[in-house]
């Protein structure tokens, strides 16, 4: 009896350590970056996002953005940042698939939410056109940028502490 109990305990400990060591995936990882209001807490840091997402980002160096960081989630969402490692002021969520991906700020769903519904939903926040096919508005102290494909479906959501329109 004692031997069976010890075996069960060992099996439970093994399972627990495997589960706690697993990387977060899909919408679980995605939801981890949002605060109780459903927004990305900005500014933030790369160490904080790494902890929330459960894996390290790929570091991207280019002449335009200096260093950016990027995470590829199993659900087809690409998360990238703008800012210094200890002062991230913008986060971009982009769909790399055609599947619907929920769990976003304001109950938006990538590849499903329409531009028309966003115009209606965010009218109270003075929603404005952004770029060629996007919308922008300020809510909860954050500047929000929504981009849509040619079919009018949401393909990316960005949140920032500053207005991208002020960049020269």
Domain boundaries, the chain: 27-166
- Which pLDDT value is given to residue 103? 85
- Which pLDDT value is given to residue 15? 27
Within the chain, which residues score under 70 in pLDDT? 1-29, 62-66, 168
Name the token pair of 153: 């479906």
> CA-to-CA distance for 116 and 106, rounded, in angstroms?
15
- Which pLDDT value is given to residue 18? 30
Q: If you ran DSSP here, which 8-state letter would residue 20 be given?
A: H
Name the token pair of 59: 């570091």
> CA-to-CA distance for 83 and 120, rounded, in angstroms?
32
Residue 84 three-state SS: strand
- Which pLDDT value is given to residue 64? 63
In angstroms, the first-to-last Cα distance of the chain is 74
* Whole-model pTM over 0.85: no
Q: Domain 27-166: state its class.
A: alpha beta
């Amino acid at each position: 009896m004692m031997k069976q109990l010890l075996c069960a305990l060992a099996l439970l400990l093994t399972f627990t350590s495997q589960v706690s060591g697993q990387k977060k995936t899909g919408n679980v990882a995605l939801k981890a970056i949002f605060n109780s209001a459903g927004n990305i807490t900005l500014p933030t840091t790369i160490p904080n996002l790494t902890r929330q997402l459960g894996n390290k980002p790929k570091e991207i160096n280019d002449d335009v953005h200096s260093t950016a960081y990027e995470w590829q989630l199993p659900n087809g969402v690409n998360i990238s940042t703008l800012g210094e490692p200890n002062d991230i002021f913008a986060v971009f969520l982009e769909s790399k698939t055609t599947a619907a991906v929920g769990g976003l700020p304001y109950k938006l769903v990538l590849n499903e939410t329409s531009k028309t519904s966003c115009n209606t939903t965010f009218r109270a926040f003075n929603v404005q056109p952004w770029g060629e096919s996007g919308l922008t508005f300020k809510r909860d102290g954050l500047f929000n940028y929504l981009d849509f494909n040619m079919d009018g479906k949401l393909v990316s959501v960005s949140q920032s502490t500053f207005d991208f329109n002020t960049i020269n």
